[in-house]
Amino acid sequence: METKESIKEMVREKYSAIALQNKETNETSCCGSGCCTTEIYNIMSEDYSTLGGYNSEADLGLGCGLPTQFAKIKKGDVVIDLGSGAGNDCFIARSETGETGKVIGIDFTEAMIEKAKANAEKMGYHNVEFRMGDIEKMPVASDFADVIVSNCVLNLVPDKDGAFKEIFRVLKPGGHFSISDIVLIGKLPEKIQQTAEMYAGCVAGAIQRQTYLELIEMNGFQNVTIQKEKIIVIPDDILSQYLSTKEIADFKISGSGIFSITVFAQKVKSCCGSDCCN
């Protein structure tokens, strides 16, 4: 039986390999899982190229949304990107927060950290930093960040409740997050859910959409809002590796589905008296 640590180690190994690949290879690899399709990249990812701060060398084509576009980052903000990879979202966040702000990328893959640091050095960014660490135990002080972003990463984290607890701890009172992630509606076929390759490919680690939103609220966040949502259609050339023709047909009419959502939520300031919430 897989443990949380074995799942994390599998994901770490996968994304260490991805860090050494070029974007063209990753674009055809189902979030780097090696599941070989020409369709999944166009379905899963969004086009970053029009956003300020975009750097093609930092874009590994692994995301499922544009959280930085929706994150309401202001000049001077402290921003943290969870699962920062080669630094793409960090550099876009830096264009929003400016030279007076600070951006920290957190990733638990050494090869990704090295790649991100090299990219930041090339661009001469002195207020963008990359730290090794787990999302469930961030190397960051409490009440530190104004904004947290993440792109198609929390679905890979075994302890999602722990991750949201950490996000709440690290955000300043009044801070917020914008997270793009993969969620489910209904039940996926067991063969997909239990396949390690699909787990690293952004699908099998996902949880139910309603459960995901409830976890956010249970951990103290307020004003939870879905900023964007789209259905993810897994191409038949992927499904056929795990399911029979009949199983594929049954899955398509089951009403179950995979969605990319971008979720916003706030850590609302606590009231300290009768008038402080006015």
Supply the CATH number for residue 192's domain. 3.40.50.150
Whether 248 is in a domain gets the answer yes
Q: What is the DSSP letter of 137?
A: B
CB 43 within 8 A of CB 30: no
Residue ranges making up the domain that contains 36: 4-266
Whether 68 is in a domain gets the answer yes
Q: How far apart are the first and last CA of the chain?
A: 52
Is the backbone of residue 115 left (phi > 0), alpha (psi -120 to 50) or beta? alpha
Whether 275 is in a domain gets the answer no
Structural domains counted in the chain: 1
Whether 177 is in a domain gets the answer yes
Residue (of 102, 99, 167, 101) closest to 134 by Cα position:
167
Whether 276 is in a domain gets the answer no
Per-residue pLDDT of the chain (278 residues; tens, 9 = 90+): 566 666 666 666 665 555 555 554 554 444 444 444 444 444 566 777 777 787 777 777 778 889 999 999 999 999 999 999 999 999 999 999 999 999 999 998 898 999 999 999 999 999 999 999 999 999 999 999 999 999 989 988 889 999 999 999 999 999 999 999 989 898 877 776 655 345 445 676 788 999 999 999 999 999 999 999 988 877 777 778 778 899 889 888 888 888 899 999 999 987 655 445 54
**Bridging pattern class, strands 78-82 and 222-232:** unpaired
Whether 277 is in a domain gets the answer no
Residue (of 145, 141, 125) closest to 133 by Cα position:
141
Whether 163 is in a domain gets the answer yes
Whether 274 is in a domain gets the answer no
